[in-house]
């Protein structure tokens, strides 16, 4: 079953996908209009034949926005606290260039969140 993981942000969203036990970064979507973002997410879901979507929830005010976004697209939620910091550290350790890290940081964070979700699901 394909699962889409989303690291939601106010201007950009990281997207990862899993088709089995391993998650991989897919892309970063930059947006200004939430309706356009939702349309782009729905296109990915359709194109990739995704069966489940999981949105990462952090803390504070962003947690509420992320939950609202998850509800709008009919997604589950999962804790993503510190996934961006983990993604930054892991990509530095892997020797990924600073430019590439900056471009894909949110997709890496979505990948870590999705992998944690997969690892902790029955």
Rounded CA-CA distance 20/80 in Å is 20
Domain ranges of the chain: 2-119
What pLDDT is attached to residue 94?
65
What are the pLDDT tens digits along the chain (122 aa)? Answer: 999 999 999 999 999 999 999 999 999 999 999 999 999 999 999 999 999 999 999 888 889 999 999 999 999 999 876 556 666 666 666 666 666 655 678 888 898 899 989 998 87
Task: Please check whether residue 15 is in contact with residue 44, taking contact to mean a CB–CB distance below 8 angstroms.
Answer: yes
What pLDDT is attached to residue 97?
67
**CB-CB neighbours of 44 under 10 Å:** 17
Longest Cα–Cα distance in the chain? 37
Rounded CA-CA distance 46/68 in Å is 21
CATH topology of domain 2-119: Nucleotidyltransferase; domain 5 (3.30.420)
**Would you give the DSSP letter of residue 12?**
E
pTM: 0.86
Say whether 108 sits in a helix, a strand or coil: helix
């Amino acid at each position: 079953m394909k699962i889409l993981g989303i690291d939601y942000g106010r201007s950009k969203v990281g997207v990862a996908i899993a088709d089995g036990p391993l998650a991989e970064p897919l892309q970063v979507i930059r947006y200004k209009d939430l309706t356009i973002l939702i349309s782009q997410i729905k296109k990915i879901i359709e194109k990739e034949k995704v069966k489940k979507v999981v949105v990462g929830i952090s803390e504070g005010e962003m947690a509420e926005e992320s939950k609202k976004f998850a509800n709008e697209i009919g997604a589950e939620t999962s804790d993503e606290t510190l996934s961006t910091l983990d993604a930054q550290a892991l990509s530095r350790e892997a020797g990924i260039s600073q430019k590439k890290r900056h471009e894909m940081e949110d997709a890496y964070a979505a990948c870590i969140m999705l992998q944690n979700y997969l690892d902790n699901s029955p």
